[in-house]
């Protein structure tokens, strides 16, 4: 069965789209058939982040009944499949959200993992996108306002029958100011799956329309995204560092661990 995960945040500015773009690319690098869908039809950014903003056919055309989901699917970095939304406001008027479920069902038939970038907030578009997934990951920044909004999103998700499975904390920069991981887990009653550090390479990679896991794979943020991807796939193994103060990870399928370590 295809794994469908919606990424949600109670407010904008948490870096949710960056998480989806990089996580999808990282999973594709690990050999999975992955599709990422930009369900934010009014404030689309996923295509822009991946250099697909000029594509003629987008999710908007699918939701307008003018194109098939295959026509709106493109190949992105590392072979990840991408269904972008249009950045044109004119396209929004033609869309019918009720067609989104059929589009998601079609995508689920041809991929192993479907990641959905939902709109921030809890308006109609956001709730519709939220219900498309079987699981939801909350993307938050380490501050109380973000957690308050995320808690509302979690409650709505549970009421809609979508299972919250964890939290991704982004833009972690200052331990003296940021809420600690334990506090975030306590407030939302969910595990923190990853903490993505503030990293200049993320901004640089966005300027070049590439995920940071491709643009600068050795950067702290890229390593955190790769670790998150491996953890979600059950593929992470810790390896003793060759040099003091440096922690490395080797990635391979779980079934190969004994053979590789022998």
| Structure confidence by residue, pLDDT tens digits, 158-180 | 999 999 999 999 999 888 789 99
- Pick the closest to residue 157 from 137, 142, 140 (CA basis): 137
- What pLDDT was estimated at residue 107? 97
Containing 116, the helix (H) or strand (E) segment is strand 113-117
- Pick the closest to residue 197 from 228, 239, 163 (CA basis): 228
Q: What is the separation, in whole angstroms, between the first and last Cα of the chain?
A: 33
Handedness of CA 198, 200, 206, 210 (dihedral sign): negative
| Structure confidence by residue, pLDDT tens digits, 194-214 | 999 999 999 999 999 999 999
pTM of the model: 0.87
- Pick the closest to residue 224 from 23, 78, 20 (CA basis): 23
- What pLDDT was estimated at residue 243? 38
Residues of the chain with pLDDT under 50: 237-262
- What pLDDT was estimated at residue 246? 36
Please give the biggest Cα pair distance in the chain: 60
**Residue 152 structure tokens:** 């509302």
**Strand ranges, E, within the chain:** 3-8, 34-38, 74-75, 81-83, 113-117, 135-140, 163-172, 192-197, 236-239, 248-251
Where do the domains of the chain lie, and which CATH numbers do they carry? 3-235 (3.40.50.300)
- What pLDDT was estimated at residue 236? 55
**241 vs 249: CA distance, rounded Å:** 9
**134 vs 6: CA distance, rounded Å:** 8
| Structure confidence by residue, pLDDT tens digits, 4-23 | 999 999 888 899 999 999 99
């Amino acid at each position: 069965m295809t794994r469908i995960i919606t990424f949600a945040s109670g407010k904008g500015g948490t870096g949710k789209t960056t998480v989806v773009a990089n996580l999808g690319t990282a999973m594709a690098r690990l050999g999975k058939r992955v599709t990422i869908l930009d369900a934010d039809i009014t404030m689309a950014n996923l295509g822009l982040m991946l250099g697909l903003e000029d594509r003629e056919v987008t999710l908007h055309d699918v939701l307008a009944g003018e194109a098939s989901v295959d026509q709106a699917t493109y190949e992105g970095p590392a072979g990840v499949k991408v269904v972008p939304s249009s950045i044109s406001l004119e396209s929004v008027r033609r869309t019918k959200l009720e067609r989104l479920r059929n589009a998601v069902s079609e995508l689920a038939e041809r991929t192993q993992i479907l990641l959905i970038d939902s709109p921030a907030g809890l308006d109609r578009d956001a709730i519709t996108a939220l219900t498309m997934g079987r699981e939801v990951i909350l993307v938050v920044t380490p501050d109380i306002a973000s957690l308050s909004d995320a808690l509302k999103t979690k409650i709505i998700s549970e009421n809609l029958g979508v299972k919250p499975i964890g939290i991704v904390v982004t833009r972690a920069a200052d331990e003296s100011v940021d809420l600690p991981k334990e506090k975030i887990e306590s407030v939302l009653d969910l595990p923190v799956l990853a903490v993505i550090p503030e990293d200049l390479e993320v901004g640089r990679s966005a300027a070049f329309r590439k995920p940071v896991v491709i643009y600068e794979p050795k950067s702290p943020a890229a390593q955190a995204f790769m670790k998150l991807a491996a953890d979600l796939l059950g593929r992470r193994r810790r390896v003793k560092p060759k040099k003091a103060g440096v922690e490395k990870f080797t990635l391979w399928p779980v079934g190969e661990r004994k053979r590789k370590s022998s």
